[in-house]
Amino acid sequence: MPRSHRESHRSDRIGWLRAAVLGANDGTISVASLVVGVAAAGAPAESVLLTGVAGLVAGAMSMAAGEYVSVQSQADTEQADLARERQELASQPEHETEELTAIYVSRGLDQALARQVAEKLMASDALGAHARDELGITDTLRARPVQAAMASALSFVIGAIVPIVTVLLAPAGRVAEVSSVTALLTLAVLGATAARAGGAPMVRGAVRVAFWGAMAMALTAGVGRLFGATV
């Protein structure tokens, strides 16, 4: 009796992993950059903290709104495609059977078997078969706007909490330096974690994310020192 084995693939993680990493990275980079820039301008600790909290709230709402609008557009397209497919199945069932048959032939089945498979699947769930094999729409990958918006906002908040806590704990006069180091370490951990979850080299992922975070904070710190205005 052949031994069964479990296969572990990472492609099914792409959707949630992208949203989670994007949100957390954006939260850390955006709020840390704001904090560093305002602190570099010489603002008092209360103003730096207020800036960080405002950045967290605004950023979380922006992420939620942007993700919702984007994913809702995808959902609208999916619904329109399904409605069109449902109409075609009702008005041209034979044509739709031939269309599904051709898809299976292109995947390697011979004509007779492909026709048999198409007829069998359409007898069970015609719309589901065409949604999956013709349109590429599945329950697993289907657009879910509300879930995407909530996940993006939550991950942004989680990432943004780090620089805010740093402002609360950092010594007065060293907020910019401590926030920069803490944010870079956080970004490196996020990058390494995302790389590991996706099966990519951890060091490369950590360096890539930390590099862009360092660029963002360096630019905002430069702007803060250039203008040197307290807010």
Instruction: Judge whether 99 lies within some domain.
Output: no
Instruction: Judge whether 90 lies within some domain.
Output: no
Instruction: Judge whether 93 lies within some domain.
Output: no
Per the structure, the complete domain to which residue 24 belongs is given by 15-73+146-224
In degrees and rounded to multiples of 5, residue 109 shows phi and psi of -80, 150
State the distance between the two ends of the chain, measured CA to CA, in whole angstroms: 74
Instruction: Judge whether 198 lies within some domain.
Output: yes
Supply the pLDDT for residue 58. Answer: 93
The parts of the chain modelled with pLDDT lower than 70 are: 1-20, 139-142, 197-198, 228-231
**Cβ burial 120-146 (10 Å sphere, 16+ → b, else e):** ebbeeebeebbbebeeebeeeeebebe
Instruction: Judge whether 136 lies within some domain.
Output: no
Number of domains in the chain: 1
Q: Residue 206: CB partners within 8 Å, gap ≥ 6?
A: 187, 188, 189, 191, 192, 195
The string of pLDDT tens digits covering residues 37-63 is: 888 888 888 888 999 999 999 999 998
Place of tokens 């949604």: 131
Q: Do residues 40 and 177 make contact, with C-beta atoms less than 8 angstroms apart?
A: no
